[in-house]
Chain A
């Protein structure tokens, strides 16, 4: 544990100074105390104030649309959302209008139906490929791995039209299958690369020991490696989940009307009904609902996954 980790924790948890962790070594305690002194010295009230003011400013646009999504149609058109803070009049009508009258409920289902397989399938495939690249020796392994690694830089725009033509020829265009397949294909290079890095970090002695016991590759994969990789899988899983959930381009290209996810439908509304703010505000927050819950609930994995996967696209 580094000093800054500790100081970060004491910032979040004001009582942390009193509740010193049990079993803390003397050295780490000294470092912690030093960090606390440093933290006290650095956290000038001015810096704190500026930091929090900027953070609030950063959130105002989102807050504005959020407030708007609960205002009546007339209010939204007649006055700014900030006036609602002094004379509040809120109703969930906009969400009802969006979900039921405009049918966004079925788009919500589509997003869900698209996302789950589009996360599970590439992770599974990538785990297997990463295992082969890390722990099964074969000729041409490193060349093949570099090739897969290099595929990360292919922008998905380059693949869309030929892929769509393939789907049309196969008679499956527009169905959920094409969306699942496309998301899985696009996720693989990054997923294989990341999971391979984590698999490489597993001590070879563990694998050797399992091999001595007569375990085959499949057994080693499931019994030895998989449990160790849970954090890595979670990080990539959260990243892929958000990528698919928030995706617009793949959905617009491949999903037919019956399979259109929320993002594509809301983007469509923004184009065709650009002034219907009661609908757009509620629609935007429906797309944000699940990502925000994931963000708040799984923030650690979320940040890790986003940082790891930020080159994708």
Chain B
């Protein structure tokens, strides 16, 4: 049993991985083999063979834990007794937690709006230019890397050195300030603007996503429409506002809501850059520190439930807009 649980050497770990894959293959193969007799096996056994394992995992891994967390959110920090709605009241009254809520609102409003606007303008600008694919690949690249790596990349951009003789700035942004004749700043420490510097990282990542989706839908606008508009003498900004944007409205809604949801759940960037200190925490990060650092399970659970509740209206809006655009067609 210990051999299965505590792998310390590389060979041991790899062996464990191969074993896990093999075990999985054998179990699934066995189940499939057992139900692969179309005549003799009743239908429900076949369904159970195909659906049983994934549904079991979903019940154990998502449904039960979500319900359990809902219960925990009404319990105290160690999960022993019920405290009513105290954890939720704390979220909306405690000044530190109110700051977390304010930051989350800033994130969820700014990131989708700025990333989508940038992505849209860039997609329009880059459409049918030379180097289009290279330019798009470079802007899309941040989507490929982890939030941890993105956090470190930008933490280095914001790095601060005291403004003294003989000390050079090593962070690009502070060096730019110095070149402009300004004083370097503690960009990640000074409240409240530090939150905006972290938000910029999320925009940097998501603009590429917005651009890719919107670029695809701009390319899908029928030539006839743009051609007709052009014959009517529409061009440039007018074309962008009155032809391009209305034509891709459904894609815009999808991008906005998708970015909003991933922003709501963002954790790794904040965790890597400040750990949520200096007034930069957001709900997803506060959930982690309350649950695993402060040992306050009740409050952590309430924050997780809040996260869940906040996702729902965004998705509802998304579904409604999709319905509307289908009705128009």
**Interface pair B154/A163, CB less than 8 Å apart:** no
Contact A34 B223 (CB under 8 A): yes
Chain A residues 154-186 with CB under 8 Å of chain B are: 154-155, 157-163, 166, 171-172, 174-177, 180-182, 184-186
Check B144 against A242 for contact (C-beta < 8 Å): yes
Whether the pair B62, A11 counts as a contact (CB closer than 8 A) is no
Interface residue A281 (Cβ < 8 Å from any Cβ of B): yes
Q: Are A162 and B64 in contact, with the CB atoms below 8 A?
A: yes
Given contacts A121-B24, A157-B265, A184-B57, contact A132 B50 (CB under 8 A): yes
* Interface SS of B by simple majority: helix
Q: Which residues from A are CB-within-8-Å of B262? A: 310-311, 313
Contact, CB under 8 Å: B172 / A82: yes
Q: Are A288 and B145 interface neighbours, CB within 8 A?
A: yes
Beta-carbon contacts under 8 Å, B286-300 to A: 287-288, 291-292, 297, 300
In the assembled complex, B139 has its CB within 8 A of some CB on chain A = yes
Number of contacting residues on B, CB 8 A?
116
A266 neighbours in B (Cβ, 8 Å): 148-149, 152
Residue A228 CB within 8 A of the other chain = no
Task: Assess whether A56 is in contact with B138, with CB atoms less than 8 Å apart.
Answer: yes
In the complex, which residues of chain B have a beta carbon less than 8 angstroms from the beta carbon of A50?
125
**B175 sits at the interface (CB 8 A):** yes
Nearest-CB distance from B11 to chain A (Å)?
10
In the complex with contacts A64-B156, A158-B305, A313-B261, A51-B149 CB distance below 8 A: no
A-facing residues in B68-126 (Cβ within 8 Å): 68-69, 72, 122, 125-126
Task: Tell me which of A128, A253, A270 contacts B272 (CB under 8 A).
Answer: A270
CB of A1 to closest CB in B, whole Å: 12
Interface residues of A (CB under 8 A from B): 2-5, 7-8, 11-12, 34-35, 38-39, 42-44, 47-48, 50-52, 54-56, 58-62, 64-65, 68, 76-82, 106, 109-110, 113, 116-117, 120-121, 124-126, 128-129, 131-133, 136, 138, 144, 148, 151, 153-155, 157-163, 166, 171-172, 174-177, 180-182, 184-186, 188-189, 192, 214-219, 242, 245-249, 252-253, 258-259, 263, 266-267, 270-271, 274, 277, 280-281, 283-285, 287-288, 291-292, 294-295, 299, 302-303, 306-307, 310-311, 313
Residues of B near any A CB (own CB < 8 A)? 4-8, 10, 13-14, 16-17, 20-21, 24, 28, 32-33, 35-38, 43-44, 46-47, 50-51, 53-55, 57-58, 60-66, 68-69, 72, 122, 125-149, 151-157, 159, 168-172, 175, 204, 207, 209, 212-213, 219-220, 223, 258, 261-262, 264-265, 267-268, 271-273, 275, 284, 287-288, 291-292, 297, 300-301, 303-305, 307-308, 311-312, 315
Contacts of B169 in A (CB 8 A): 80
Chain B residues with Cβ below 8 Å from A274 are 155
Cβ contact of B168, chosen from A79, A129, A249, A306, cutoff 8 A:
A79
